[in-house]
Amino acid sequence: MKNQVELWNDLNEKNTLQEVQQHIKDVIEIRGFANQEIEKTMLLNLY
């Protein structure tokens, strides 16, 4: 799997919605949030 910087560098204005969604899923996996409850993950953005 690519690292987060490599994933970021792959994004551009021509990406489809599905590609952006996959990017987000991959970053969540890299950061270790894949098995966390969605509520806890969303609360990370508040603090």
Number of structural domains the chain divides into: 1
Give the phi and the psi of residue 32 in degrees, each rounded to 5: 85, 20
**Beta carbons of 29 and 7 less than 8 angstroms apart:** no
Closest alpha carbon to 10 in 29, 26, 34: 26
Full domain range(s) for residue 9: 4-46
3-state helix, strand and coil shares in percent for the chain, rounded to the nearest 5:
65, 0, 35
Is residue 47 predicted with pLDDT exceeding 80? Answer: no
Is the model more confident about 41 or about 20? 20
Query: pLDDT digit string (tens) for 24-34?
Result: 899 989 988 88
pTM: 0.70
CA distance 18 to 42: 21
pLDDT at 38 over 90: no
